[in-house]
Amino acid sequence: MQLWQHYEFTGDKQFLQQRVYPVFKDAAEFFLAYMVQHPHHGWLVTGPAVSPENWFIAPDGKHCSESMGPTCDRVFVHALFSACVEACTTLGIDADFRARAQAALDRLPPLQIGKHGQVQEWLEDFDEGEPGHRHMSHLMSLYPENQISPSATPALAKAARVTIERRISQPNWEDSEWGRANITNFYARLLDGENAHKHFVGLLANAAEDSLLAYSRGGVAGAESNIFSLDGNTAGAAGVAEMLVQSQGGEIHLLPALPSAWPSGNITGLCARGGVEVSLFWTGGRLVAASFKSKLGGMHKVRYGDKVMRITLSAGRSHTVSTRDFQSA
């Protein structure tokens, strides 16, 4: 998916055609051949497969790991097929393959809400074998994907919050550095700046050295001692970016999850999808001005709070808007 995100953020169609599309088409052909029809629902599912790295409790009470169609598989197959359909359309190629990918996309299982109000981790509503497990692979649907969002899927967004809170409230929650960073991003996507900031601070306080280099703590996942892990640094930085600018879903969203701990500030050069660089200045917890510089030009939808405006950008030139512009939008 990093290949696809590189295309989304740069809009480089040559990269899409030469580098991304051949890889994605081969991967999609594999899944088209590999998936099978669910005997009761008719959905296309993967498997036997696992939800890394948790177990579930089967109806007979046994702890099992393999099942058909775990949610994380569905999330990434959905992302893969969606990207293939969009790439074919953008490049104007492979109409027959695009139709097969779209037909398979339409037959994937839906994301489901379980008996606890949580996003189901598996196709069936199993309980977790380890309720405090460090992995929440099924919430890749919330971040880095955009298959769950407060605006488009509010019920699933509420269920994602339940998933997070059930997991981290367990007395034996496996608090890891990349887990904290993931939760920062999850809450940012839920537009909850206070909890995003809380877990970002937790990452720095509980899983980083004085140098701020992150580590996986001894005692988690069988580790005997602290282990340096860059995951917390890269994902933690991503969490800060997600609190300040988001651009999934066809909009550039300014200060979507600004925490009260950052009442005033500025930032330059954050990247948004569509080849746009964003710079922001805010004070008193409110946006003052935003500047956009486009590599490609074109029209973009920009959101601040509940206001949305459209701006037309010229390649290589900057365009600045203020809070007043949103008030009149």
Average pLDDT estimate for 323-328: 87
Q: Is residue 179 part of a domain?
A: no
Tell me the per-residue pLDDT of 262-309, one tens digit each, with 9 for 90 and over.
999 999 999 999 999 999 999 999 999 999 999 999 999 999 999 999
- Mean pLDDT (the chain) is 96
Q: What is the pLDDT of residue 116?
A: 98
CATH of the domain at 327: 2.60.40.1180
Query: Residue 294 is part of which domain span?
Result: 247-329
Q: Does residue 218 carry a pLDDT above 90?
A: no
Domain shared by 291 and 262, yes or no: yes
151 lies in a domain?
Answer: yes
SS (H, E, C) the chain: CHHHHHHHHHCCHHHHHHHHHHHHHHHHHHHHHHCEECCCCCCEECCCECCCCCCEECCCCCEECCECCCHHHHHHHHHHHHHHHHHHHHHCCCHHHHHHHHHHHHCCCCCCECCCCCECCCCCCCEECCCCCCCCHHHHHCCCCCCCCCCCCHHHHHHHHHHHHHHHCCCCCCCCHHHHHHHHHHHHHCCCHHHHHHHHHHHHHHCECCCCCEEECCCCCCCCCCEECCHHHHHHHHHHHHHHEECHHHEEEECCCCCCCCCCEEEEEEEECCCEEEEEEEECCEEEEEEEEECCCEEEEEEECCEEEEEEECECCEEEEEHHHHHCC
Is 220 part of any domain? Answer: yes
The answer to whether residues 99 and 59 belong to one domain is yes
Q: Is residue 267 part of a domain?
A: yes
Give the pTM: 0.96
> Tens digit of pLDDT for each residue in 222-233?
888 999 999 999
In a domain, 170, yes or no: yes
Q: Give domain status of residue 183, yes or no.
A: no
Total structural domains within the chain = 3
* 86 in any annotated domain: yes
| Domain's final residue, options 127, 146, 174 | 174
Specify whether 231 is located in the same domain as 252: no
Q: What is the mean pLDDT of residues 106-133?
A: 97
Q: Which residue has the higher pLDDT, 156 or 176?
A: 156
